[in-house]
Amino acid sequence: MSEDKSIATTAESTEIAIIDERSIQDKIYIVRGVQVMLDFELAEIYGYTTTAFNQQVKRNEEKFDDDFRFQLTRDEVTQLSISQNVTSIQMAGRKGGRAKLPWAFTESGLYMLMTVLKGELATKQSKALIRIFRSMKDYIIQNQPLLGQRELLRLSLQTSENIQAIDRIQTMLIDHDDKLSEILSQMSEMLKRSEISPFLLDFSKPVDQKEYLLLNGQPAKADETYIDIYSRAKKMVYIVDDYISIKTLRLLQDIQPGVAVTVFSDNCYNKLHASDYRDFQTEFPGITITFQTSAGMMHDRFIVLDYGETNEQMFLCGASSKDAGVHRATAIVELTSAEMRAGIHGLIDKLKTNQALVLK
């Protein structure tokens, strides 16, 4: 850790690190060929314990793909301690050592953190980080691989669920727009304005963009489309999707009272945890969801509303709802063919006999 790092105490007696350009440079490490910052040092910056910091991130786990955040291996911890002088990583077995391996956050992950961590202190530190990153432009050019257009677009679009948090950062960025333009014009060919402009454009206007998909051939906002489809159900909703997360559940927020929801899924990669469902029930106590395994029976994703009723509707979804419009273009198509719907009926009847899915 840098010797010039100091600790400040807020009015609430929360200890946070005073950050400057030198201290940030000292906290940037190279792991797996990319520059990263580590969870315990970010926790110090934001005034969290490492455990509390990682819990905040876990509650928004669907926002942090592997290129945003990854967990170090024991060998990587050892190598960092030897070659990059990260002396504060102590693992279990040593006095004061941590039980779990550290998490590393890439540049994309750092910007995503600014939209996830809430509160006055988090906003203050996020603004400080942005100012420091801006002042470190020469260091970034020489030492850090910059975000490409695709990553910037995805990052800016994913902030749509964190409007209040990102709005605080947005105000600061707008205030400094002229300075930012001047900096961009002076940076090397590694960072052309055309590469970063989509990201900055998202901050220069009200944050109302969401991921898009095609609904029956017409463009539509992804999250709003799912929420609207679920709200049409009168009695029941069946969701067939092997890849689920807390976002899958949140899209059910506007279903009508008394509508029964069943999710058929093998919960691949265990993205949805029992704690996530408990949090969802606390936030939406009127929505109860039954989980059953799909037993590998279904490859595609389906939504069925009011199964067997005269107003029944069926939809074939090209992607999981948690990913719709984020990574690649996708579509939702309503199935109206009587023969096709009869075939789906047969599959649903088999799914209903599967055992319960137990969340871990």
pLDDT at 237: 97
Helix intervals (H) in the chain: 21-26, 39-46, 50-58, 74-83, 107-116, 120-135, 137-143, 149-158, 163-175, 177-186, 193-203, 222-231, 246-250, 274-283, 338-351
Sign of CA dihedral 284, 290, 296, 299: negative
Residues of the chain with CATH 3.30.870.10: 212-351
Average pLDDT over residues 301-319: 94
pLDDT of residue 171: 55
Model pLDDT, residue 9: 33
pLDDT tens profile 172-211: 555 544 454 554 444 444 333 333 334 333 433 443 444 7
pLDDT of residue 249: 93
DSSP state of 166: H
Sign of CA dihedral 36, 275, 292, 62: negative
pLDDT in tens, 136-171: 655 544 444 444 444 444 554 554 444 455 455 555
Sorting pLDDT into bands at 50, 70 and 90, what band is 260? very high
d(CA 44, CA 39): 9
* Token pair recorded at residue 335: 């199935």
pLDDT number for residue 307: 95
Do residues 143 and 34 touch, judged by C-beta distance below 8 A? no
Q: How confident is the model at residue 340 (pLDDT cuts 50, 70, 90)?
A: confident
Find the largest Cα–Cα distance for the chain.
72
- The pLDDT > 70 percentage for the chain reads 67
Nearest-angstrom CA–CA distance, 33 and 67? 12
Residue 129 pLDDT > 80: no
Tokens read off for 98: 């941590």
Q: How far is CA 177 from the centre of its chain?
A: 27
Beta-carbon contacts of residue 24 (< 8 Å; ≥ 6 apart): 129, 132, 133, 136
For the chain, give the mean pLDDT.
Answer: 75
More reliable by pLDDT, 98 or 201: 98
The pLDDT value given to residue 104: 93
Cβ proximity of 18 and 8 under 8 Å = yes
Task: Say how far apart CA 83 and CA 132 lie, in whole Å.
Answer: 26
Please determine, for residue 134, whether its predicted confidence score (pLDDT) is greater than 50.
Answer: yes
Extract the tokens encoding 300.
């595609």
Domain 212-351 has CATH 3.90.420.10: no
Cβ neighbours around 305 below 10 Å, total: 22
Q: What is the pLDDT of residue 192?
A: 38
Enter the tokens of residue 16.
């946070």
282: Cβ–Cβ under 8 A, 6 or more apart, which residues?
A: none
Dihedrals phi, psi of 104, to nearest 5 degrees? -110, 135
Top-confidence residue, 241 or 327: 241
Tokens of 33: 């060929």
Q: Tell me how crowded residue 224 is: count the other CB atoms within 10 A of its CB.
A: 15
Show the tokens assigned to 297. 């029976």
Tens of pLDDT, residues 27-84? 888 888 888 889 988 888 888 888 889 998 998 888 888 889 999 998 888 888 776 6
pLDDT at 279: 83
| Alpha carbon 45 to its chain's center | 21
